[in-house]
Structure formats: C-alpha cells, structure tokens
Amino acid sequence: MRSFIKVCAAVLSAAFILGGCGSKTGNENISKGMEFLEQYDYQSALDSFEAAIVYNEDNQLLYRGEGLAYMGLGDYESAKSSFLKSISYADHITGLEYDTNYYLAVTYMKLGQYEEAERIYSAIIGLEKKAVDAYYMRGCTFLKQNNYEAAIADFEKAFSLEPDNLELVTDAFVEMQAAGYAEEGKTYLEEFMSSKGDDLEDGEKGIMYYYLEDYENAHIYLDAFVNGDDPGLSLILGKTYEKLGDINYAAVVYQTYLSANSPDAAIYNSLGICLMQQEKYAEAVDAFAAGIELGDTGYLQELKYNLIVANEKMGNFSQAKTMVNEYLTTYPDDEKAKREADFLSTR
C-alpha cells in the first residue's frame, strides 16, 4: 500500500473490508452500493448511493461510498467533494473518519494539491505516531513540493517503524527516482540489502538487484519463480527481461503467470506493452481489455490509455478516436492523451 498507485488500489480494498458499515437496518442502498464497489461496478454503486440520499440513509457512510465510486471512475474532483461531505457528518473522530481522510488525501494527490494532502497526513500522524503509510505518503508530498530534506526525514521515519519492509524501501526509491534523486535513493536499497544479508530470500534478492539495475543478477535469483503464483515476483521477472532486451521471454513470463493464476491488472498491462513492441496489436488489445475488466483502480487509467494506442496501431482510428475522447472526459489533464487525440483527429 506504499507507492502512490498502490495506495489508490488499496483504498478500495480497504473500503470492501469496511463495507459492512452500511449493512445495518435502514441503510439498504448503502449496502447495495458497497456490493457494487466490490464488483468494480462504479456507476451502479453511484446509483445506489444516490438512492441512499433520497431515503435519508446514513450521510457519513453514503458520501464515503460515493467518494469511493468516483475514485473508481477516475473523477477525483467529485470524489474529494464526497469525502469532505462524509467527514462533515462525523460527530467525533472514529475509525471510519480516519480511513476517509486517507482516501481524501489520495484524491488531493491525484489532483496535484500536495499541500492539502500533506496537511491530512500530518493530522493522521498527530493522532497515530506509528502511522507508517502516513509518514511514507507525506514524504511523497514533500518530494512533489521539492522539499527533499523533509521527504527523507519522513521516509527514514517510516523505515525505522518497519525495518524489514522491502516494499517500503523499493517504493521510496521509485518515488525518489521519479523526483530526480535516483542515486540518493539507491543508498537506501544498498543499506537495506547490506543490513539483511543472508536473511533475504532469493526472490527478495532478485527484487533488490532489479531496482539496483543489476539485471543479470536479478534474473539469476528470479528465474525460479517463472512458474510461481506471486504476481509481484512474476512482474519483476518479466520487467527484468524487458530491461535485458528479451521482450519475447518477458511476454512468456507474463503469459505463464496468467495461464496458471488469478488475473492481475498489472501483468495484463505489461503483457500488452510487450505485445505492442512485438507488433501483435490485436493480442495487445485483448490484454489491455482483460486488464480493464478487472476494474483495478491502480492501473485503470494506464490500461485505458494503452488500449487507445493499441487500437490506433491496429488502424482502428474511428474506435480509438471515440475512446480517447471518452478518456479525456475522465482524465482531462493527461497531456499524452491530448497529443494522441490531436494525432487521431487527422486520421
């Protein structure tokens, strides 16, 4: 739940766990809405929450659910508004308000309102001094605001609270890399690897080598997992082969996982990208579409964009044009999509 995408995905997972909050007598429409969220049917969920308003059901619960549905649709402005309404109906601080504030902070991050997100994470930390996710995400907000020293302080606090958490360290590295501090980020990877030594399992070593850009060692430690059931390891193994230039085998890794395990949006996305590089555009369309069907909010935007590109590469210009216009109504600030729309307008 650490990286920004993972937080967005984990938000809805947490919502499903808490979905029972709307199950008491008199909140039937809220309960239905939460069930639709579990099925990633966001529009039906919204319809249920609208009905909950009409029938005077619990305002805090229904607006929280409405916010989650808007998040699933990628409408973060509306999600923010709904979460604020939900919080306004809280009489005092509860677990429900606590997690709603997490969701609200995610919408602020998505909207580029980093100071507002920082404020919420700071409030959460004020209530819970060991809130690892809040320290980590506040560090991300500081990076977005070019406050490197504050970001590092928060990351290091998070590391101290969960010193054995490999995912936490690698996700922090990814954020630092994106902010232009890759070399500084690598020191945390190296320190983690050095401190854990022989306690690291092969898969963990492979992951560390991948992020350290030592792809030869990464594949040595990860190859044994090609027939495994861990989507994270399969994803890193495939990406390792992509970095080594073996796109064909990377695609095999992804296909092997999907043929034997539960579907995974991230793996469908990576498979589709590999298939496009192989100029297998029809297969790429199928992969992206299958990923979208899963409704995973963490990858939904990327999958939808890639599906547009795959259709364009196939020569399905009319369909791609319709899709990009729909996409931009949901993600109006995506510059890549705007350029794609301009290109398609000439076709």
The pLDDT tens digits of the residues spanning 154-163 come to 999 999 999 9
In order of 2, 3, 130, the CA distances from 158 in angstroms are 10, 13, 8
What band does 25 get if pLDDT is binned at 50, 70 and 90?
low
The domain limits of the chain are 1-111, 129-199
The pLDDT of residue 46 is 97
The pLDDT of residue 22 is 43
CATH number of 1-111: 1.25.40
Check if 1-111 and 129-199 are the same fold.
yes
Rounded to 5 degrees, φ, ψ at 77 are -65, -45
Cβ-based neighbours of 60, under 8 Å, separated by 6 or more: 86, 87, 89, 90, 96, 97
pLDDT in tens, 195-236: 998 899 999 999 999 999 999 999 999 999 999 999 999 999
Within 10 angstroms of residue 269's Cβ, the number of other Cβ atoms is: 24
What band does 40 get if pLDDT is binned at 50, 70 and 90?
confident
The pLDDT of residue 264 is 96
Question: Do the beta carbons of residue 189 and residue 173 sit within 8 Å?
Answer: yes
The pLDDT of residue 20 is 46
Q: pTM, whole model, 2 decimals?
A: 0.85
The amino acid that residue 103 corresponds to is Y
Residue 2 CA to its chain's centroid (Å): 9
Residue with tokens 């677990």: 95
| One CATH from 1.10.1660.10, 3.40.50.970, 3.30.460.20, 1.25.40.10 for 129-199 | 1.25.40.10
**Spatial separation of the C-alpha atoms in residues 102 and 49, rounded to whole Å:** 20
Mean pLDDT value of segment 20-39: 79
Within 10 angstroms of residue 186's Cβ, the number of other Cβ atoms is: 16
The pLDDT of residue 44 is 96
In order of 21, 38, 90, 202, the CA distances from 17 in angstroms are 9, 9, 20, 32
Average pLDDT, the chain: 91
The amino acid that residue 32 corresponds to is K
The pLDDT of residue 270 is 98
Write the Ramachandran bin of 41: left for phi over 0, alpha for psi from -120 to 50, otherwise beta. Answer: beta
The pLDDT of residue 198 is 85
